[in-house]
Amino acid sequence: MSTVIEESVPGAGPGAGGVPLQLSNIRKQFGGVVAIERFDLELRAGEIVALVGDNGAGKSTLVKIISGVYQPSEGELRMHGRPVSFRDASDARRQGVEVVYQDLALVDSQPVYMNMFLGRELTRGPLRLLDRRRMARETQELVDRLDVRIPSAKATIRELSGGQRQAVAICRATHWASSLVLMDEPTAALGVAETAKVEELIMRLRERGAAVLVVSHNLDQVFRIADRVTVLRRGRHIGTRDIAATTRNEIVSMITGA
Amino acid sequence: MTQADAALKARSGPRLRGFNWREYVVYIGFVVVFLFFAVTQGANGFLTTTNLTNIVIQTAPITVMAVGLVFVLSAGEIDLSIGSVVALSALIAAVTLRATDNMLYGAAAGLGAGALVGLVNGLFVTLVRLPSFLVTLATMGAVAGLAREVTGLQSVPVANDAFLSLFGQGDVFGIPGLVVWSIAAVVVGYVVLRQTRYGAHTLAVGDNIGAARVSGIKVARVKIMVLMGSAMCAALAGLLYAGRLQGARYTLGEADLMTVIAAVIVGGTSLFGGKGSIVGALLGSLLMGMLNNGLILAGLSVSQQMMARGAIILIAVSLSLREKRS
């Protein structure tokens, strides 16, 4: 695992600077309804943390807070020790939060490489025309490096299977992530084999030193890939456990409150 | 050549699978209609150079508008106000020319009027969040009324030689000016749609607006830009009409909306956004022009032409619109 250290991103060392994301005391209220009360979590470089909870527990709300879609009513977000706030999703992205959305956020009629560079297209020359060749080449390199099986970087998204699309979305996040990737149910729509591929990809992301927060419904998956698991129930933060030091039964009872 | 290049090349093959002939409807239709009129109307002069050049010349305003509309449809919006903008722009340009006799003022006034209508459309679509269908339906009526009001239903002659030469009757190295305008609109439209970030963002907005938004694309700006672009293309079409006909009248462009929409759709641009073809729009426009011309040569009365054109457009659009919706 020595390569982990070599490949790790800047600021991944010990101390507050090595914490890509720290949430303290996060609270979110919609009118009179409290969606999240008091949520605390520290996401370290090179680890996968699973966020679990029943439907309506507040997982999506939390993801939307971290990705800049919602602003917390109270509490503080820190990235690498610095307090941050996001105006909107693209502002969060600019500050280094990459998100793999459940609905993928891909443009179906465009080739893979245009999706990889969506909103950040490369241009060349004084007329700033699209540098399609370079985008296609860089995409192909990335896809090959991550061993993603798609026909070509020039294939149109519509031609790809669900798993291949998800892989493209994760590749994109990998490509641009400086240190933090958020995934909202990345395998919800996938078959068994495709899920395995995507999980492999997520674990490779960890090897590269990124901090990954995965929302998942699938406890088998959580125990397969995560290092820690944190549980929400009806907006309350029940707790966080190391995967090595907990059991499925404990997590299930934390989720259900039984 | 790097490894990735080689891999790219090696893997580009499978894309050719599943030839989708619907994408080529416009080419097939173009050839079929051409051959049909060549055979049936050849004796009436359909195939003469003068007649074929005339088709291209008369289609120029349609082509220019079609280029603008490709962007609007690609972004998932629609612009129904373009026909009215043609008349407004032509009349305002004509009135300005009459008052100042300055070609630049006339052209600027016409294009400015178009830009303004496009801006109003864009602001209502983005700020008030109304569907562009409703907004431009309303402005279509309002602008048509304004065009009638400007001169109190009077037509206005244009006598400025520089204007007439630039927008209608001049030529460049023997190529008629209106043909040059068509080519310019198509080339600029093609490069902007295919080779600029703005073009890519336009297609992304029409394809998956949520993805565009989270990718940092300024969705509202794109929508305003496409609507302004389309209105300004319509305004330019108005100038081209005024130049060719040496005058402006509130009826200009009246029947063009359907023709332009048909040309663009037949040309392979999606009515649901995300897919646009400038070359297809050019061929679609020429196809419409050819129909017009051929039906006249065939000796159909105006009312018969209208019916025939409507039926043919319906057939062509049905063939090209059957998109696979997954």
- DSSP string across A156-171: BGGGS-HHHHHHHHHH
Task: Give the other-Cβ count within 10 Å of A74's Cβ.
Answer: 12
Does residue A11 form part of some domain?
A: no
Give tens-digit pLDDT for B49-86. Answer: 999 999 999 999 999 999 999 999 999 999 999 999 99
Interface of A with B in 132-161 (CB under 8 A): 136-138, 140-141, 144, 151-156, 158-159
Q: Looking at the complex, report in whole angstroms how far the Cα of residue B8 sits from the nearest Cα belonging to chain A.
A: 6
Which position has the higher pLDDT, B43 or B188? Answer: B188
Which residue, among B183, B186, B188, B189, has the nearest Cα to B57 in the 3D structure? B183
Nearest-angstrom CA–CA distance, B294 and B36: 9
Which residue, among A169, A121, A118, A122, has the nearest Cα to A142 in the 3D structure? A169
Residue A141, domain CATH: 3.40.50.300
Choose the weakest-confidence range: A13-27, A157-171, B267-281, B282-296.
Answer: A13-27
- Crossing angle of helices B177-195 and B49-74, in 10° steps, is 30
Task: Please compute Rg for chain A using Cα positions.
Answer: 18
* Per-residue pLDDT, A90: 82
Chain B interface, best mutation among A135, A142, A144, A152, by max B CB count within 10 A: A152
* Residues of chain A with C-beta less than 8 angstroms from the C-beta of B274: 107-109
Report CB contact under 8 Å: B326, A110: no
Report CB contact under 8 Å: B4, A137: yes
pTM for this structure? 0.86
Q: Looking at the complex, report in whole angstroms how far the Cα of residue A211 sits from the nearest Cα belonging to chain B.
A: 20
Does residue A161 form part of some domain?
A: yes
Beta strand spans in A120-201 (E): 123-124, 129-130, 180-184
Q: What angle do CA A128, A131, A135 make, to 5 degrees?
A: 140
Tokens of A148: 């993603």
Contact yes or no for A242/A228 (Cβ under 8 A): yes
Residue A2: Cβ-neighbour burial (10 angstroms; 0-12, 13-18, 19+): exposed
Residue A120 belongs to domain spanning:
18-256
Domains held by chain A: number: 1
Contact yes or no for B193/B69 (Cβ under 8 A): no
Cα separation values, B20 from A107, B15, B283, B324, Å: 20, 11, 18, 10
Which residue, among B252, B322, B283, has the nearest Cα to B33 in the 3D structure? B283
Contact yes or no for B309/B298 (Cβ under 8 A): no
pLDDT band of residue A96 (cuts 50, 70, 90) is confident
**Pairs of CB atoms within 8 A across A/B:** 109
Tokens of A130: 């699209």
- DSSP annotation string for B64-115: HHHHHHHHHHHTT-----HHHHHHHHHHHHHHHHHHH--HHHHHHHHHHHHH
Report CB contact under 8 Å: A151, B274: no
Chain B residues touching chain A at CB-CB below 8 Å: 2-5, 7-8, 11-12, 14-15, 191, 194-197, 199-201, 203-204, 207-208, 210-217, 270, 274-275, 326
Instruction: Inform me whether the C-beta atom of residue A242 falls under 8 Å from chain B C-beta atoms.
Output: no
Task: Give the other-Cβ count within 10 Å of A14's Cβ.
Answer: 9
Rounded-to-10 torsion of CA B32, B35, B39, B41: 90
Which residue, among B118, B5, B62, has the nearest Cα to B267 in the 3D structure? B62
pLDDT band of residue A210 (cuts 50, 70, 90) is confident
Rounded to the nearest integer, the mean pLDDT of chain B is 90
What is the DSSP secondary structure assignment for residue A111, as one 8-state letter? B
Partners of A34 in the β-ladder: A29
* Per-residue pLDDT, B154: 92
Does residue A10 form part of some domain?
A: no
Report CB contact under 8 Å: A114, B15: no
Second-level CATH architecture of B22-319? Orthogonal Bundle (1.10)
Report CB contact under 8 Å: B274, A109: yes
Q: Looking at the complex, report in whole angstroms how far the Cα of residue B45 sits from the nearest Cα belonging to chain A.
A: 43
Tokens of A172: 């994109």
B171 by DSSP, 3-state: which? strand
pLDDT band of residue B19 (cuts 50, 70, 90) is low
Domain regions of chain B by residue span: 22-319
* Residues of chain B with C-beta less than 8 angstroms from the C-beta of A119: 201, 204, 212, 215-217
Nearest-angstrom CA–CA distance, A251 and A62: 19
* Residues of chain A with C-beta less than 8 angstroms from the C-beta of B4: 137-138, 140-141, 144
Tokens of A51: 């966020």
* Per-residue pLDDT, A2: 38
Q: How much of chain B, in percent, has pLDDT values that exceed 70?
A: 91
Tokens of A22: 């720290």
Report CB contact under 8 Å: A108, B12: no
Contact yes or no for B55/B286 (Cβ under 8 A): yes
- Give the ipTM of the model, two decimals please: 0.83
Cα separation values, A69 from A72, A97, A98, Å: 10, 12, 13
